[in-house]
């Protein structure tokens, strides 16, 4: 059984653990950087990217997380986690982990659409995936190495770059675990 960590600083942690277990892997909450050596893949949950970054700095996680990815370990960023993976954030002159070559915009669907659900066609996963968006970002631009997996209203909402996966929505908040299963398969490879 592969071991999948969920970064446990802030956000939808428990829900991801439940989803990882439903997808047939072991889920481990990661609170210290030393725990990264025990896991095969990592999920960075949704929450608030600025708060998460503050906690990442407080617990000295930034380099350890970037190294985890650079050593070839799969990372799946959902919502705020997607923002943390990007190397370019609209309106900001700095990024966070800069592991994926893409430009993202925070809270991009607008205030009137703070949260909503939509059925999307998610390449390699399902053509009827029920996606839950909460103050969601979207991806504005991707580099040549990034494969777009899903769009919603012509905006990129899921993508993959080698061993990195991201979604603008929250796959852990429904009982449909197919995207988490997709990530577990990436980790098993
Ligand atoms: N709006 C949040 C941010 O900018 C992301 C929201 C979420 O993770 N649900 O970090």
- Domain residues of the chain, as ranges? 3-188
pTM for this entry: 0.97
pLDDT tier at 110 (50, 70, 90 boundaries)?
confident
Q: Quick check: 1 and 26 in contact, CB under 8 A?
A: yes
pLDDT tier at 188 (50, 70, 90 boundaries)?
very high
Give the C-alpha separation, 53 to 58, whole Å.
8
Residue 159 tokens read as 């993508």
Give the catalytic positions in this structure: 79, 170, 172
Secondary-structure class of domain 3-188 per CATH: alpha beta
pLDDT at 18 over 90: yes
- Alpha carbon of 78 to ligand 1 centroid (Å): 9
Closest CA to 135 of 159, 102, 170: 170
Could you list the residues known to form a binding site for L-glutamine, using ranges.
Answer: 47-49, 106, 134-135
Write down the pLDDT at residue 112.
Answer: 60
Directed axis angle between helix 178-188 and helix 13-22, to 10°?
Answer: 70
């Amino acid at each position: 059984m592969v071991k999948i960590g969920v970064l446990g600083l802030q956000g939808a942690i428990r829900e991801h653990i439940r989803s990882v277990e439903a997808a047939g892997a072991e889920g481990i909450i990661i609170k210290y950087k030393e725990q990264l050596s025990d896991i095969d893949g990592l999920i960075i949950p949704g929450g608030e990217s600025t708060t998460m970054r503050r906690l990442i700095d407080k617990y000295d996680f930034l380099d350890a997380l970037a190294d985890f990815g650079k050593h070839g370990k799969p990372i799946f960023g959902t919502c705020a986690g997607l923002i943390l993976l990007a190397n370019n954030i609209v309106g900001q002159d700095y990024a966070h982990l800069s592991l994926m070559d893409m430009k993202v915009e925070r809270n991009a669907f607008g205030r009137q659409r703070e949260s909503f659900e939509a059925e999307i066609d998610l390449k390699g996963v399902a053509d009827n995936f029920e996606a839950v968006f909460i103050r969601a970002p979207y991806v504005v631009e991707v580099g040549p190495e990034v494969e777009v997996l899903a769009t919603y209203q012509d905006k990129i909402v899921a993508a993959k770059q080698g061993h990195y996966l991201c979604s603008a929505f929250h796959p852990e908040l429904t009982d449909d675990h197919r995207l988490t299963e997709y990530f577990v398969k990436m980790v098993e490879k």
